[in-house]
Amino acid sequence: MSGADNQTSPPDLRLAGLAVAAWLTALAGLHLGPRSLLLVAGVAAVLTTCGALHLLDRLGRPRAAARRHGWIAVAVGLGVVCAGAATAARLAIRDAPPIRALAEQRALVTAEVVVRDDPRPIRSAGRPGMLLVSSELIRLTGPDGRRLHASVRLLVLATDPAWRGLLPGQRVTTEGRLGVPRGGDLTAAVLSTNDPPERHGASSWPQRAAGTLRAGLQRACAPLPDDPGGLLPGLIVGDTSRLPPSVEEDFQATGMTHLNAVSGSNVAIVVGAVLLLARWGRAGPWLAVGLCGVALVGFVILVRPSPSVVRAATMGAIGLAALAAGRPRAALPALAAAVTVLVLVDPELAGDPGFALSVLATGGLLLLAAPWRDGLRRRGVPPGLAEALAVPAAAQVACGPVVAGISGTVSLVAVPANLLAVPAIAPATVLGVLAAMVSPIWPPGAEFLAWLASWPAWWLVVIARQGARLPGGTLPWPGGVPGALLLTVVTVALLIAVRRPLVRRLVAVVGVASVLGALPVRLVFAGWPPPGWVVVVCAVGQGDAVVLPVAPGRAVVVDAGPEPGAVDGCLRRLGVREVPLLVVSHFHADHVGGVAGVFRGRRVGAVLTPSSTDPESGRDLVRAAATAGRSALLTTVAGARHPVGGVDLLVLGPPYPLAGTRSDPNNNSLVLRATVDGVRILLPGDAEAEEQHALLARAAPGHLRADVLKVAHHGSAYQDPGFLDAVRPAVALVPVGAGNTYGHPNPSLLARLNRGGARVLRTDTDGDLAAVRAGPGLAVARRGMPPGRQS
678-698: pLDDT as tens digits:
899 999 999 998 999 889 888
* Coil, strand or helix at 175: strand
Where does the pLDDT of residue 513 fall: very low under 50, low under 70, confident under 90, or very high at 90 and above?
A: low
Where does the pLDDT of residue 54 fall: very low under 50, low under 70, confident under 90, or very high at 90 and above?
A: low
**Residue 62's pLDDT is what?**
46
The strand pairing partners of 672, in sequence order, are 651, 683
Residue 164 has pLDDT above 60, yes or no: yes
User: Between the ranges 252-261, 341-350, 377-386, where is the mean pLDDT highest?
Assistant: 341-350
Residue 59 has pLDDT above 70, yes or no: no
What is the mean predicted confidence (pLDDT) over 525-541?
83
**Residue 787's pLDDT is what?**
33
The tens digit of pLDDT for each residue in 346-380 reads 888 888 777 787 788 777 777 887 788 887 788 78
**CB-based contacts of 708: which residues, under 8 Å, 6+ apart?**
534, 535, 679, 680, 681, 682, 729, 730, 731, 732, 733, 771, 778
Residue 731 has pLDDT above 80, yes or no: yes
The answer to whether 391 and 412 have CB atoms below 8 angstroms apart is: no
**Residue 711's pLDDT is what?**
94
**Residue 650's pLDDT is what?**
92
- Span between the terminal Cα atoms of the chain, in Å: 62
Handedness of CA 699, 702, 703, 708 (dihedral sign): positive
The tens digit of pLDDT for each residue in 399-445 reads 778 777 766 667 767 767 777 887 788 788 888 888 888 888 898 99
CB hemisphere CA count around 726 (13 angstroms): 19
Q: Look at strands 731-734 and 759-762 and give their pairing.
A: parallel
Whole-number Cα distances in Å, 790 to 228, 464, 584, 785: 18, 17, 25, 8
**Residue 209's pLDDT is what?**
78
The answer to whether 340 and 366 have CB atoms below 8 angstroms apart is: no
Of the chain, the percentage scoring pLDDT greater than 70 comes to 78
The answer to whether 303 and 309 have CB atoms below 8 angstroms apart is: yes
Q: Beta-carbon neighbour count of residue 692 at 10 Å?
A: 26
- Whole-prediction pTM: 0.60
* Coil, strand or helix at 534: strand
Per DSSP, the residues of 330-394 read GHHHHHHHHHHHHHHH-GGGGG-HHHHHHHHHHHHIIIIIHHHHHHHHHTT--HHHHHHHHHHHH
Q: Across the chain, how many H-helices and E-strands are there?
A: 28, 26
Cα 358 from Cα 403, distance rounded (Å):
12
Cα 64 from Cα 75, distance rounded (Å):
17
Where does the pLDDT of residue 669 fall: very low under 50, low under 70, confident under 90, or very high at 90 and above?
A: very high
* Coil, strand or helix at 325: helix
Q: Beta-carbon neighbour count of residue 58 at 10 Å?
A: 12
- CA 353 centroid distance within chain: 8
State the DSSP H helix or E strand holding residue 200, giving kind and residue range, or none if neither.
Answer: strand 198-200
Cα 144 from Cα 141, distance rounded (Å):
8
- What DSSP state is assigned to residue 265? H
Residue 84 has pLDDT above 90, yes or no: no
Cα 469 from Cα 539, distance rounded (Å):
17
